[in-house]
Structure 1
Amino acid sequence: MKRIIIDCDPGNGIAGANTDDGLALSLALASPALSLELITTVSGNTPSAVGAQVAKDLLARLGAEIPVVQGALQALEEDPRPWRELLDRKNDSAELKDLWRSVRKPEALSPDGNDAAGAMGKLICDNPGEITLVAIGPLTNVAQALTRFPAMAESVAEIVIMGGVFAVDDYIKDTNFGFDPEAAHQVLHSGAAITLVPMDVTTQTLMTQPDLTRVTAVDHPLADFVRETLRPWIDYSVRTRQLPGSWIHDALVVAWLLNQQVACGMDYRVDIELRAGATRGKSWRYREPLRLDIGIPPQTGAQVHVLHSVNNALLLEMIESALKSLPH
């Protein structure tokens, strides 16, 4: 059994907010091979307080007792106001809000503390080599934990990150790295063992409404949560992104921990642009040796394992199998 922490920014049940964090949490909770020991929330897709409510509400539905600790309210340096303007108001139209009319909002439950970096760092350092950190939101909490707990980079078994975008049409940067570029840079260069799951591979995932109906065809509160909260988001994605369904970015991270046949990857040098301007927050990668290296010092960037292709049919099969194996 693999022991994990999930650091996330879930928005399930919140009109206009992405639901892939909640699907990732659900897959982890449904998988006997994973022991989810701590959930921490960070401001990103949703403010950290909202994300904590979503996670607490999910656990309450299941009668599960896992600590949920709220974390960073904003990035290390990046101005949060433009991001909140974008992320919190993309559902302003009445037509889009109406997609969530029958979805129960998460209850306003209190988190189990507000020091996510402290909870994360202590659990990892108290159990060296035992804990895998699944980071599927902006990396603010993780960066703060690494600063406060110098042994954490060596103590963590691995950090698996959903973030970055290298060559996806219509994107210069993604939300997770773009929301806090300094945190992403710090974590990438921490010396920890890192696997990166960028948008280049997560945009190869897809869940349609028929897929959702099939994978949640079981009488269980966890399947009910997935079906209820993903249905409006898939409709939202179809209407606003001209896709036949929705990407399920964060679920791929958890699925890869369970079965590495679900995605292929290779080692790259990876870094992120911190300077002001149009490319601030942009991630880039290369394999060694460079064919043209003028002006580029040796070993520029951090050594990171990067996933690049996915078996989406297997991913959906894994989610379906996990939910249908739940006792009911």
Structure 2
Amino acid sequence: MIKMINENPGEVTLVATAPLTNLAVAVQLNPKISKKLKALYIMGGNTESRGNTTTCGEFNFVADPEAAYIVLDRYTCPTYIATWEFSCRNSLPWSWCDELLALNTPKANFVKTISSLSNKKAQSADYQKEITEGKGFNSCDTYALAAAINDTLITKSEEVAVTVELEGNFTRGMMVLDYMGQLKKKHKVFIMKEIDKEKLKQMFMNSMK
């Protein structure tokens, strides 16, 4: 990853859909890569202290809070975050999901097979305790990836400085938004707020052909 970024400055867009350990290690090994990226898209974190793994933490950040802290502190390229709440609010109807997986193409059949367990889990009573609002097909990681492919999908976002709580008994791993400017950070990230669902649906459909 470091080699690719250094050889192609300003051309590489990273999409992070898991704990940020590798990105944190990379920027510590080579601090200059943080400015050489074209953009960084992250699925992770939360904005309203509603967790899906701990009381106040989203899985990707809770799995390695220190890594999330380092990434949000040291990467100074344009950074876009699809949070847990954002993905919940933009869930797609299960009826549409059924239509997507019924296309009977090799890709659709493959996705149907590998997602059967997670889709069953997503419709369970236990999962309903994790979501902040809305019901339906919540493909969390896809929002970050889709935005990286076509940034016009995101119709509303807010720019704010962020960090990650590392100490709290209940809030370790929670993303903190600094609206008051107390962190004195020059670099701010873009928190995704709204997405064009119709464009997203069409992107899904096209990808299954």
Q: TM-score, normalised by structure 1?
A: 0.55
Is residue 2:147 matched to residue 1:251?
no
Residue 220 of structure 1 is matched in structure 2 by 105
Cα 1:179–1:302 shift into 2, 3 Å: farther
Is residue 2:153 matched to residue 1:265?
no
CA distance in 2, matches of 1:214, 1:286: 41
**RMSD, matched Cα:** 2.2
Contact 2:45 2:174 in 1 (8 A): yes
Residue 57 of structure 2 is matched in structure 1 by 173
CA distance in 2, matches of 1:139, 1:232: 25
Moved over 4 A (4+): 168-171
The size of the alignment, in residue pairs, is 198
1:137-216 maps to which residues of 2 (within 5 A)?
137-167=18-48, 169=50, 171-190=55-74, 191-216=76-101
Contact 2:49 2:57 in 1 (8 A): no
- Note the C-alpha offset of 1:130: 1.2
* Aligned residue identity for 1:181: P
Moved more, 255-264 or 154-163: 255-264
Is residue 2:127 matched to residue 1:241?
yes
Cα 1:167–1:282 shift into 2, 3 Å: same
**Structure 2 unmatched runs, 5+:** 129-133
CA distance in 1, matches of 2:64, 2:187: 17
- Note the C-alpha offset of 1:262: 2.4
Moved more, 275-284 or 127-136: 275-284
Greater RCO (Cα-Cα under 8 Å, separation 6 or more) = 2
CA distance in 1, matches of 2:149, 2:99: 21
CA distance in 2, matches of 1:301, 1:193: 12
Contact 2:101 2:112 in 1 (8 A): yes
**Structure 1 unmatched runs, 5+:** 1-119
Is residue 2:18 matched to residue 1:133?
no
Q: Spell out, residue by residue over 1:133-170, the C-alpha distance to the aligned partner (whole angstroms, 9 max, x if none).
A: 00010000001111112221122111111111011645
